[in-house]
């Protein structure tokens, strides 16, 4: 998730695929499903990975202009209790909740890492807003919708790079780094029913994965 220079790249013997969240497409999808929505909050853990992800979001906004939804906030939570406070806060201050990684939220009382399934079970019980995910875990954790990263795409791009290196004798460092561009469209009709959201048929029909 970090800028390439963080890892010592570019380098003469290395190329690869940079993983990025599909923020712009995800916010557009949420807006199509909930046209009256105006503001989105982005929540995640307080980690180096989340800081880079949040930086990508802000950089995209700066470089490419406004999103389909205004940002109500970008929050990096160190503890589960802080996460809970933010989820409650955004029930009145955002129209959509979107999620980054939440693997390292600590319990303030015990200091232990709270299991991600426990985090999202509480979140789904407490939250009444449409939810948007960007990673594969969104399928398991009941996000209403998402534009998810595709491991297949990343593997395909990496494979194409390997082939180019092997068939042309080109140094790896001369093969440009790629960025994932194709997202998988997720729609969860169970969550839509629970939240009282009607997903347009054309969106369901075009989705890569529909959970019923």
- Domain boundaries, given as residue ranges, for the chain: 21-148+182-211
Quick one: pLDDT at residue 145? 99
Backbone angles phi and psi of 70, in degrees to 5: -75, 150
d(CA 209, CA 206): 9
Q: Which CATH class is domain 21-148+182-211?
A: alpha beta
d(CA 41, CA 90): 7
Quick one: pLDDT at residue 156? 45
Task: Find the angle CA(77)-CA(82)-CA(85) to the nearest 5 degrees.
Answer: 125
**What's the gap between Cα 98 and its chain centre?**
7
d(CA 40, CA 23): 11
* Three-state SS at 109: coil
Cβ atoms of 45 and 75 within 8 Å: the answer is no
Q: pLDDT tens digits, the chain, 212 residues: what are they? A: 556 666 566 677 775 656 689 999 999 999 999 999 999 999 999 999 999 999 999 999 999 999 999 999 999 999 999 999 999 999 999 999 999 999 999 999 999 999 999 999 999 999 999 999 999 999 999 999 999 975 555 564 556 657 767 889 888 787 566 555 678 999 999 999 999 999 999 999 999 999 99
């Amino acid at each position: 998730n970090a800028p390439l220079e963080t890892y010592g790249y570019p380098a003469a013997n290395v190329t690869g695929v940079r993983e990025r969240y599909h923020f712009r497409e995800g916010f557009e999808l949420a807006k199509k499903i909930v046209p009256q929505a105006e503001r989105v909050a982005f929540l995640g853990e307080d980690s180096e990975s989340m800081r880079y992800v949040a930086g990508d979001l802000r950089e995209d906004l700066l470089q490419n202009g406004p999103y389909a939804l205004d940002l109500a906030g970008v929050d990096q939570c160190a503890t589960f209790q802080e996460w809970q406070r933010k989820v409650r806060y955004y029930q009145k201050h955002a129209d959509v909740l979107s999620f980054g990684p939440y693997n390292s939220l600590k319990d303030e009382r015990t200091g232990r890492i709270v299991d991600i399934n426990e985090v999202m079970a509480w979140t789904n019980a407490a939250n009444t807003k449409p939810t948007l995910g960007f990673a594969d875990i969104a399928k398991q954790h009941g996000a209403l919708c998402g534009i998810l990263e595709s491991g297949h795409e990343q593997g395909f791009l990496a494979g194409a790079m390997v082939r180019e290196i092997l068939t042309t004798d080109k140094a790896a460092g001369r093969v440009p780094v790629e960025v994932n561009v194709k997202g998988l469209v997720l729609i969860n009709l169970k969550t839509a029913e629970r939240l009282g959201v009607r997903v347009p048929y054309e969106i369901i029909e075009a989705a890569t994965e529909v959970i019923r």
